[in-house]
């Protein structure tokens, strides 16, 4: 699993990249009450605002971690946003992306580096 400074995780699954938010991020956000997901088929560029997550505290944007196409979204989160707090790195993935070149993940933080990053 790879991590971004925006507190997203990326997991390669076949030729797709699965994206979610980290446990640390879900703890910082507090109870999640609303998730808005992008349309499947959307072409995105790194750092595009692709999804919105609202907690009891505030709204936050989820940024595209890499260039690519959103091929599948986890629509379960729209009905059960609280899943993001219960299982942020498992069932509560946000979307799956088709990425032209998976080597862009190579430079991202691994788990040890992310743990150091969040202190």
Which residues are near another protein by CB under 8 A? 30-31, 33-34, 36, 52, 54, 56-59, 78, 81-82
For residues 29 and 97, which CB has a smaller minimum distance to another protein in the complex? 29
* 31 vs 43, beta carbon nearer another protein: 31
Rounded to 5 degrees, what angle do the CA atoms 18, 55, 19 make? Answer: 5
CB of 70 to another protein, least distance (A): 18
In the complex, the smallest distance separating the C-beta of residue 17 from another protein, rounded to whole angstroms, is: 25
Among the listed residues 15, 42, 79, the one whose alpha carbon sits nearest the alpha carbon of residue 62: 42
Using CB atoms within 10 Å of the CB of residue 64, give its burial: 0 to 12 exposed, 13 to 18 middle, 19+ buried.
Answer: buried
């Amino acid at each position: 699993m790879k991590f971004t400074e925006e507190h997203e995780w990326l997991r390669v699954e076949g030729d797709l990249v699965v994206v979610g938010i980290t446990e640390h991020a879900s703890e910082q956000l507090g109870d999640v009450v609303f998730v808005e997901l992008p349309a499947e088929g959307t072409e995105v560029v790194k750092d595009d605002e692709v999804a919105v997550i609202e907690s009891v505290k505030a709204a936050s944007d989820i940024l595209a971690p890499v260039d690519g196409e959103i091929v599948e979204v986890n629509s379960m989160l729209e009905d059960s946003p609280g899943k993001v707090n219960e299982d942020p790195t498992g069932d509560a993935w946000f979307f799956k992306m088709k990425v032209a070149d998976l080597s862009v993940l190579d430079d991202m933080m691994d788990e040890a580096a992310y743990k150091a990053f969040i202190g």
